[in-house]
Chain A
Amino acid sequence: MEDITLFISKIEGEIDGIVPGSLKPETHFREIPEWSSMHALVLMALSETEYDVTLTGEDLRKCGTVQEIYNLISSRT
């Protein structure tokens, strides 16, 4: 899998309202402004289409930071 910077820029590209460059590996994604289930769906879709990895709701609940999601996806690619 690509490095985390590229992963983050893809998330930033998918979710409106995130200032590019503001998202860090240690960011808790639930603290993204207006975080909602819609954002969760966007992350799940990104994981499916870009990495062919299925993220479940349960997976997301277990993760706190962007880094943790990244680690989870890379462990499954």
Chain B
Amino acid sequence: MRFQNTDFLDYLCFMPSKILATNYHLPKKIYSNQDFFEEFPDSIGKSLEKTGVLQRSIAEKGEVSSDFALAAAEKLIEENKIDKSTIDLLVYCSYDHDYYTPSTACVIHGKLDLPKSCAAFDLGLGCSGYVYSLAVINGLMETTGMRNALLLTSSSLTRFFHMDDKPDKFIFGDAGSASLISNHPSGGIGPFVFGTDGKGYDKIIVKDGFMRAPISETSFVDEKDEFGNHSNPASFKMDGVSVFLFSVRVVPPMIRELLEKASMSIDDIDLFIFHQPNVYLNETLRKKIGIPVEKFVHCMDLFGNTVQATIPIAINESIKNGRLKPGMKVVLAGFGVGLSWAGTIAKF
């Protein structure tokens, strides 16, 4: 692609980007609250139900994140009749990789049969990953004249769970999402606010299995925390209390800073779509920030916390049920594992 006329190039360079379409795919296997209480009959239902989850879909043996991302991408391409030769960028954001090497974005690139001119890479972040990926894609698009980007965010976290990890089995679900982000005159994603606190890296972690601590005999030795929750070094482990406190501490100032950066107030925003860790936490955040109920999206009941996929699923559902309409300005915010957080304002 070459341009003789540099004015045209400049025009392209400043074309804003826009989330044009989203789609998601859930694994077939459904794990309902009834299934949960049958597996753990002595669990106390009340506190768990505050999380707002009624059922979740979970990966079965042999199913992985990239399968869900691929299925979502195929649906997205078909429904929106996207010409694959115009896809210039593929970003796969997940902690779940098919292989140590090569990167999963390349594997998916091959399965989708995308052109060789398409750039592809994996971006490793969790709950803040969707917003981070938007920042990276938006940056590349605004400066490069790339036409279409596929953002795939996907999680099969339940595969890392200890078999007796009750709270996490209740809260989390698996899903893959695909978003089409394009150059569009009526678009605009930004400004962005980011934050990182690596001191809390072990608050949400799968410790063993990579470079720092390869799998060893001790990887599968059971541990129990002060609340009696089970885990082992090779399983997923979350310190729920610390994460709750962290979120309440960092999210409200992040939203304030974001609105300030954009010279806007809550009144100027049409909808707030946050990462969906649990309804109880998000209601606390909503009240602390002072967001009216009708502008705030909860989208947990049928999905659970799907980590990187929560925001695009909530976008998709909000469009389907009529809450998110063209022209709206929407605050997107992710926060969690890292600890890492990010927020932006997207024009739909």
Note whether A and B contact each other (Cβ less than 8 A).
Answer: no
- Report B's interface with A, CB cutoff 8 A: none
Give A residues with C-beta under 8 Å from B: none
